[in-house]
């Protein structure tokens, strides 16, 4: 079983076989010989998704200089907007936002209006099928309202989950239960369908430690379902990141990757970056990392053994959204994938969770989960189209599906075993904040929610990064204790 294997054992085996990740080395004195290739800033931010873009904008507002490194040719991470031939936008990545202060402040900073979005109009047209066979599946039995009320009451018992991974010690037993046992304990069967629809991209939901579902389907999400979510009034959420890109201007390096690092304990940290115009050496007082902290993603970072031992425990899932033209599904009908022969009718993965109407005739949002299988783009596309064609067996006059837009959100959910959580994994993970002048934010450090991550990032900036920058500038920092490489 996936969750019974600790990634640390795999990392140890890889090291024994000589397959361990090599540490990045470079000579900053040689690379920085040409002053025109050196960029000096207060903070270097690695990753231009929701967290990194927010951090860059806010730090500039707070009076600090930044440089933002992003491997793609645009900012926004999972935020994607497709425009049909008539110029109408369809968001198929980050679709809606839970409401909080950071949401209104961030959109307000760029004068981008928001509007409410109620999912009721979509879910009223839901039809359920096993998309492996086209077999119709009945709706869940039992009292959904009663089950969701119990679920919300459980969330209220663990309010710290809304702020991050600062778990109590010892970790409450309920949080460590496999989710199928959690469902049985609290009689949540009638709610599993709605939980699955909102907790997408996690793989076999029934076998994850329950805390991951509680983190993903949070109290904020429950309130959004009850009272509505927000989205950009234009229905084009990518506009936020286009505005941020324009404001940040020369402080963004797009299509750029880290080649090496020198994070000494001196005043300036050095990051060698490959950009479209050549190599650049960045010198910064602090570094903020927002990309998923997997060893394979950090091969060019100068990780010490403490960082490697913690990050090496993560595993991840794979998740892909798309916009699909599917002629033959009636207007307003949402197709939900349910397993005809699975516990609680959870969908079998790899497979499409749902085909959701976009509001434009024949165009649907498809959200595809691959679990722990790393699929190629062609495999994902073919499976999405095959899932749609199964609806012919259900009596729909389905035309040939055509994928109009596609994105790869992998690696998606980063997770560890229940045993690792119980042993204090997230305490150890959070102990890396500030270690070697490096700070972290992003979904692995909190949740898959832009607004939750903006709130988390704001707190990180105010309580850690800003304090450390300001005390260093004023010379009032307490003496730094020795920061050993090993834990």
* Structure confidence at residue 29 as a pLDDT band (50, 70, 90): low
Task: State yes or no: pLDDT of 474 exceeds 70.
Answer: no
Question: 0.85 exceeded by the pTM?
Answer: yes
Task: State yes or no: pLDDT of 5 exceeds 60.
Answer: no
Task: State yes or no: pLDDT of 31 exceeds 80.
Answer: no
In what order do the strands lie in the sheet containing 351-357?
135-136, 126-130, 334-337, 351-357, 363-371, 318-325, 402-406
> pLDDT by residue (tens digit) across 317-359?
999 999 999 999 998 899 999 999 999 999 999 999 999 999 9
Percent of the chain exceeding pLDDT 70 equals 89
Beta strands in 61-182 (DSSP E): 66-69, 81-83, 89-91, 114-117, 126-130, 135-136
d(CA 22, CA 140): 50
> pLDDT by residue (tens digit) across 364-407?
999 999 999 999 999 999 999 999 999 999 999 999 999 999 99
Q: What is the mean pLDDT of residues 260-287?
A: 93
Q: What is the mean pLDDT of residues 133-157?
A: 96
Task: State yes or no: pLDDT of 48 exceeds 60.
Answer: yes
Percent of the chain exceeding pLDDT 90 equals 83
For the chain, the distance separating the N- and C-terminal CA atoms, rounded to the nearest angstrom, is 29
- The per-residue pLDDT of the chain, averaged, comes to 91
Lowest mean pLDDT among 16-30, 77-91, 324-338, 428-442: 16-30
Residue ranges of the alpha helices (H) in 253-372? 305-311
Identify the CATH number of the domain defined by range 119-227+318-406. Answer: 3.90.660
Q: What is the mean pLDDT of residues 180-198?
A: 96
Lowest mean pLDDT among 121-130, 273-282, 291-300, 420-429: 121-130
Give me the DSSP letters along 396-448: ------EEEEE----S--EE--HHHHHTTHHHHHHTTTTGGGEEE-SGGGS-S
Identify the CATH number of the domain defined by range 2-77+239-315+416-474. Answer: 3.50.50.60
From 475, 435, 466, 480, select the one nearest 43 (Cα to Cα).
466
**CB distance 302 to 258 below 8 Å:** no
The boundaries of every CATH 3.90.660 domain in the chain are: 119-227+318-406
From 442, 366, 379, 386, select the one nearest 411 (Cα to Cα).
442
pLDDT of residue 125: 85
pLDDT of residue 470: 84
Task: State yes or no: pLDDT of 286 exceeds 80.
Answer: yes
The boundaries of every CATH 3.50.50.60 domain in the chain are: 2-77+239-315+416-474
């Amino acid at each position: 079983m996936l969750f019974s294997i600790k990634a640390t054992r795999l990392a140890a085996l890889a090291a024994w076989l000589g397959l361990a990740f090599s540490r990045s080395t470079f000579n900053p004195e040689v690379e920085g010989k040409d002053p025109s290739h050196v960029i000096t800033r207060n903070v270097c931010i690695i990753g231009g998704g929701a967290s990194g873009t927010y951090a860059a904008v806010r730090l500039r507002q707070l009076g600090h200089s930044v440089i933002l490194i992003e491997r793609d040719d645009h900012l926004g991470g999972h935020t994607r907007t497709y425009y049909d031939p008539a110029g109408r936008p369809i968001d198929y990545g980050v679709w809606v936002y839970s409401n909080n202060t950071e949401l209104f402040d961030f959109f307000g900073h760029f004068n981008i209006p928001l509007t409410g979005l109620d999912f009721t109009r979509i879910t009223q047209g839901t039809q359920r099928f096993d998309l492996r066979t086209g077999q119709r599946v009945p709706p869940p039995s039992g009292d959904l309202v009663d089950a969701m009320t119990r679920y919300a009451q459980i969330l209220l018992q663990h309010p710290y989950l809304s702020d991050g991974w600062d778990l109590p010690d010892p970790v409450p037993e309920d949080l460590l239960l496999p989710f199928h046992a959690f469902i049985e304990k609290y009689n949540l069967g009638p709610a599993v369908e709605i939980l699955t629809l909102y907790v997408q991209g996690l793989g076999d939901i029934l076998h994850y430690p329950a805390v991951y579902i509680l983190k993903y389907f949070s109290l904020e999400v429950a309130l959004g379902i009850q009272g509505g979510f927000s989205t950009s009034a234009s229905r084009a959420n990518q506009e936020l990141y286009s505005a941020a890109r324009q404001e940040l201007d020369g402080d963004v390096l797009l299509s750029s990757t880290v080649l090496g690092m020198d994070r000494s304990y001196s005043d300036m940290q050095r990051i060698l970056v490959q950009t479209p115009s050549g190599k650049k050496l960045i010198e910064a007082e602090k570094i903020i990392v927002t990309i998923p902290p997997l060893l394979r993603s950090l091969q060019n970072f100068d990780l010490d053994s403490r960082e490697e031992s913690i990050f090496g425990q993560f595993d991840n899932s794979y998740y892909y959204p798309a916009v699909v033209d599917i002629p033959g599904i009636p207007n307003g009908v949402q197709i939900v994938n349910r397993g005809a022969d699975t516990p609680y009718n959870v969908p079998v993965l790899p497979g499409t969770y749902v085909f959701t109407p976009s509001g434009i005739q024949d165009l649907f949002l498809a959200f595809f989960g691959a679990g722990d299988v790393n699929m190629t783009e062609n495999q994902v596309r073919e499976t999405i189209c095959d899932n749609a064609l199964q609806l012919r067996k259900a009596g729909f006059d389905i035309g040939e599906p055509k994928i109009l837009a596609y994105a790869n959100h992998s690696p998606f959910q980063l997770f560890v075993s229940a045993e690792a959580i119980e042993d204090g994994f997230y305490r150890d993970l959070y102990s890396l904040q500030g270690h070697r002048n490096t700070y972290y934010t992003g979904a692995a450090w909190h949740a898959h929610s832009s607004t939750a991550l903006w709130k988390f990032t704001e707190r990180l900036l105010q309580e850690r990064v800003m304090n450390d920058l300001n005390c260093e500038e004023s010379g009032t920092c307490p003496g730094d204790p020795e920061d050993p490489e090993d834990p």
